[in-house]
Chain A
Amino acid sequence: MDAEAAKLIGAGLAMIGAIGGGLGIGVVVSGAVQGIARNPAASGEIQTNMILGIAFAEAVAIYCLVVALLILFVF
């Protein structure tokens, strides 16, 4: 196989990990929205914690993205 083609396939495969980040963010936001619906007065605090949770879940997807970018533009 051509090295360039293998690189492209590898970058695509690396992004499979984004599934985890997507699922995680979905779970976080679903929980936060349910919490806000039950107790709208606490929405400010819940939103802050939700954004933090999203950031942690998203970090995993970002690692995949960085690996894909490294494969594409560095190696």
Chain B
Amino acid sequence: MADTTLATPEETKKKWHYGINRWFVLLFIILSVFGARAISPVLPHIQLPAERYSHIPLFTLPVIGEFYWTNTLTATVLVDLVLLILALIIRGAVKSGKEVLDGFAGTVEALIEVLYNLTESTAGRFAKTIFPYFATITFMVLVANWMELIPGVDSIGILEQSDHGYPIEPVLGFVNTIVKTTAEGHGDATFTLIPFVRVVTTDLNFTLGLALISVVMTQVIGVRARGTKYFGKFINVKTLFSKPVFGVIDFGVGILETVSEFSKILSFSFRLFGNIFAGSVLLFVIGSLVPVFAQSIFLMLEFFIGLIQALVFGMLTMVFMSQATHGH
């Protein structure tokens, strides 16, 4: 049995790592207890629009207005980089000519296969057209949502002087931290934090953009699949004269269909934004109330919510697109 002899050192090695990791976890717990006692965390100033790094606009367009480099824009670039690196790794694995992909590439292949089978069972022969949108949106939102779990996101950044902030205190020489207002006061200047990276799905612009892409491409795919007959769904005059009563009802249904296309944009963007923004506010509040253990549980919750919301956004796009391809 060659397999067992190969597996045994692997297993013992794994156990040994577990033993080391256990002490690391204990060390981090003790360190976080002491850290929370030394510098008690404060509830950060929560603001809905993304924070700007500077008040000087990047460039100005005549009609639309000024453009600023915001911290969610940095997060978008990071998400894109992660996805590009992922794609290059998979490309390398596919190009290597192996019949069966293993390791990381194999995992992604299995995941993509699950998503593709789901698309095929819903969309049928249009699966090849619809699948890229589904997979791209799912992976992009997934990576963007899971960024919330990385320590330092939302918590490391530039300190900016503002009216509704907290005083700061130097730690480790060049790093400053926000501290709670004490009785004696640390001086009159108060600061708020502008994080370097803020989770991109907590910016309504990003979710609105994705929703617009999803809904507009649904119309495009519908027209490509059914031609001008696709618009018969919205302006329904086919039965208006042959069946007077039901014709009027059908026409009204067409108007409702038109309204529902616009409400899709609203529901897509607010669903993702509301879930993730509420999640990050929850993490801020829990982190400031109970600094040590409690946040881990909510990080686990955010892990699942990020996954489910990414799947829901992608799957709804896929279902709407496949509905657009076939008539009633």
Inter-subunit contact A51/B312 (CB<8 Å) = yes
Inter-subunit contact B278/A55 (CB<8 Å) = no
Q: How far is the CA of A58 from the CA of B281 in the complex (A)?
A: 18
Inter-subunit contact A69/B312 (CB<8 Å) = no
Inter-subunit contact B315/A62 (CB<8 Å) = no
A36 to chain B, nearest CB (A): 17
Interface centre among A48, A55, A72 (most CB of B within 10 A): A55
B275 CB contacts on chain A under 8 angstroms: 62
B319 CB contacts on chain A under 8 angstroms: 52
Q: Could you list 28 A-B pairs, sorted by A, with CB under 8 Å?
A: A48-B118, A48-B315, A51-B308, A51-B311, A51-B315, A52-B312, A52-B315, A52-B316, A52-B319, A55-B312, A59-B267, A59-B270, A59-B271, A62-B270, A62-B271, A63-B270, A65-B278, A66-B270, A66-B273, A66-B274, A69-B48, A69-B274, A69-B281, A70-B48, A72-B46, A73-B46, A73-B47, A74-B48
Determine if B277 is an interface residue (Cβ-Cβ < 8 Å).
yes
Q: Is the interface of B mostly helix, strand, loop or mixed?
A: helix
A45 CB contacts on chain B under 8 angstroms: 121
Interface size (B, Cβ < 8 Å)? 20
CB within 8 Å of B: which of A22-40? Answer: none
B212 to chain A, nearest CB (A): 17
A71 to chain B, nearest CB (A): 11
Interface size (A, Cβ < 8 Å)? 16
A17 to chain B, nearest CB (A): 12
**B-binding residues in A (CB < 8 A):** 45, 48, 51-52, 55, 58-59, 62-63, 65-66, 69-70, 72-74
Nearest 10 interchain pairs by C-beta = A62-B274, A55-B312, A66-B274, A59-B267, A65-B274, A73-B48, A59-B271, A62-B271, A74-B48, A66-B270
**A-binding residues in B (CB < 8 A):** 46-48, 118, 121, 267, 270-271, 273-275, 277-278, 281, 308, 311-312, 315-316, 319
Interface centre among A52, A70, A72 (most CB of B within 10 A): A52
Q: How far is the CA of A70 from the CA of B118 in the complex (A)?
A: 36
Known contacts being A48-B118, A59-B267, A62-B270, is A69 close to B311, with CB within 8 Å?
no
Q: How far is the CA of A51 from the CA of B254 in the complex (A)?
A: 27
**Which residue from chain B places its CB closest to the CB of A64 in the assembled complex?**
B274
**Which residue from chain A places its CB closest to the CB of B47 in the assembled complex?**
A73
B259 to chain A, nearest CB (A): 15
A29 to chain B, nearest CB (A): 13
A44 to chain B, nearest CB (A): 9
A50 to chain B, nearest CB (A): 11
**Which residue from chain A places its CB closest to the CB of B49 in the assembled complex?**
A74
Q: How far is the CA of A64 from the CA of B277 in the complex (A)?
A: 13
**Which residue from chain A places its CB closest to the CB of B277 in the assembled complex?**
A69
**Which residue from chain A places its CB closest to the CB of B319 in the assembled complex?**
A52
B273 to chain A, nearest CB (A): 7
B121 CB contacts on chain A under 8 angstroms: 45
